[in-house]
Homo-oligomer: A and B are copies of this chain.
Amino acid sequence: MIAELICVGTELLMGQVVNTNARFIAEKLAPLGITMYYQVVVGDNVGRLTQVVKTALARADILIFCGGLGPTDDDLTKETVAAAMDLPLVLRTDEWDKIVSYFTEKGREVSPNNKKQALFPPDALVLDNPFGTAPGCILEQDGKAAILLPGPPREMIPMFGAHVEPWLLARSDTRLYTREVRVFGMGEADVAQKLSSLIENQSNPTIAPYVKPGEVTLRLTAGCDSEDEGRALVEPVLAQIREILGDLVYSDTGRSLPETCHDLFLQAGKTLAVAESCTGGLLASAFVDIPGSSAYFIEGAVTYANEAKVKRLGVSRDTLDKYGAVSAECAREMAQGMRRTSGADIALATTGIAGPDGGTVDKPVGLVYVALATEENVTVQEWRLYGERARVRGLTVLYALDLLRRFFFS
């Protein structure tokens, strides 16, 4: 099966947004054995979109569209695709009722513009959108299918998972068993080199490394007839990877670093508090983001000003004067102070220079400290990170979490 992806939106042509949908969908199709030869981005223009649809109908079996399903006059994907496929649009009263109740629940008035969102070809498979007003749909005609999805990723991604993936899977004769191994503390090139003989000899499962800032994920994918067969194919390779990478591996079930720490806290029955300077709330948020974290996460302090470090955490003025706020000593006192004042079993602390300003020769931008305090002990680590402010802050969170999961593993 050959698919073509068509993203509709002037905002993509103007460079206002990055086309993350293209990556998401491409990544989902590959393991289903669906080939993509072309991706096209086109603006909200009937003539050009019609041309693109006709070209794609001639060279692909499945056309996947993102964007242009909204209520405004600009949004014309459904109208244009239906016309190009010779399908009429009629009002689906059941879908219109859903849109009305969506607005009613939110205490807002339905705009007459929204009515076009309930128009579909009579045989269309309408795809619910729990996160917005624009339903998606699947249209079929002459052996070709068009899958129309909303543009915003928070609407598109759940719709793809709930409706499109099962629909495609039912039409594909390939099954895939996938496991994600997550690695922190080594770059992609080094990970790939250490695993080179495994990667070169891969056939089933395949091993694909993916990289995110500070992290490498290895995706193992086995073609199989059942989940049990898939697991049996993947497990021995997982064991080899763990043998080679050792404790750089923190998860082989795709759990993220915050999720891994969350699981460890729940298991251990310990409590946590965090004190942040340069990460400024990101570390606390990494935990609060996970449902159920209130079982162990007591509190966080974003002690950005020195005065707050003294007053809230009891960092000594001497330490700040002598070593500065970005120092191992300050990180240590922040962690200890947070543990003491919160009553938590474990406290984490971060301090550093996120940039772009504030760096000196001795303390350059990217110098960060993370600390972990328990009743018995305090561990402080110094890291020298590079990149812009958001990257330094994000990486500092990951280093703090890595320190934490290593404490539990040890």
Kindly provide the distance from the CB of A188 to the nearest chain B CB, expressed in whole angstroms: 6
CA distance A275 to B38 in the complex (A): 48
Q: Which of chain B's residues have a CB closer than 8 A to the CB of A391?
A: 131, 154
Select the stretch in A19-27, A87-95, A224-232 that faces chain B: A19-27
Interface string of A21-50 (1 = CB under 8 A from B): 011111111100000111111110100100
Question: Are B28 and A211 in contact, CB atoms less than 8 angstroms apart?
Answer: no
CB of A288 within 8 A of CB of B308, answer: no
Residues of chain A from 101 to 136 with CB closer than 8 A to chain B in the complex: 105-109, 111-114, 131, 133
Q: Are B357 and A10 in contact (CB under 8 A)?
A: no
Known: A23-B19, A106-B386. A298 touches B287 (CB 8 A): no
Question: Most chain-B Cβ atoms within 10 A of its Cβ — which of A26, A48, A105, A294?
Answer: A26
B288 near A302: Cβ-Cβ < 8 Å: yes
A278 contacts across to B, CB distance below 8 A = 288
Which residues does chain B contribute within 8 Å of A294, judged by CB atoms?
304-305
Q: Which residue of B lies closest to A180 (CB)?
A: B16
- Residues in B with CB closer than 8 Å to A200 are 73
Chain B residue nearest in CB terms to A29: B15
How many copies make up the complex? 2
Q: Which of A192-225 contact B (CB under 8 A)?
A: 192-193, 199-200, 208-213, 219
Contact residue among B108, B281, B386 (Cβ-Cβ distance under 8 Å from A187):
B108
Flag if B299 contacts A308 (CB, 8 Å). Answer: yes
Are B27 and A14 in contact, with the CB atoms below 8 A?
yes
A240 located at the interface, meaning its Cβ lies under 8 Å from any Cβ of chain B in the complex: no
Is A263 in the interface zone, CB < 8 Å from B? Answer: no
- Shortest C-beta distance, A41 to chain B (Å), equals 4
Given contacts A105-B386, A188-B70, contact A38 B41 (CB under 8 A): yes
| Chain B residues within 8 Å of A25, by CB | 15
Q: How far is the CA of A44 from the CA of B276 in the complex (A)?
A: 41
Chain B residues with Cβ under 8 A from A188's Cβ?
Answer: 70-72
B300 A299 Cβ-Cβ under 8 A: no
Contact of A39 (CB < 8 Å), options: B23, B40, B106, B152: B40
Whether a CB of chain B sits under 8 angstroms from the CB of A289 is yes
Residue contact A280 to B291, C-beta cutoff 8 Å = no
Residues of the B chain whose Cβ atoms lie less than 8 Å from the Cβ of A72: 188-189, 192, 199, 209
A-B pairs with lowest CB-CB distance, top 4:
A280-B288, A15-B27, A281-B281, A15-B26
* Selected A-B contacts with CB under 8 Å, 24 pairs: A9-B210, A10-B208, A12-B23, A12-B26, A13-B37, A15-B23, A18-B23, A39-B40, A72-B192, A73-B200, A74-B209, A111-B189, A111-B193, A113-B192, A152-B213, A154-B391, A279-B285, A281-B300, A288-B302, A289-B393, A291-B357, A298-B308, A299-B308, A301-B302
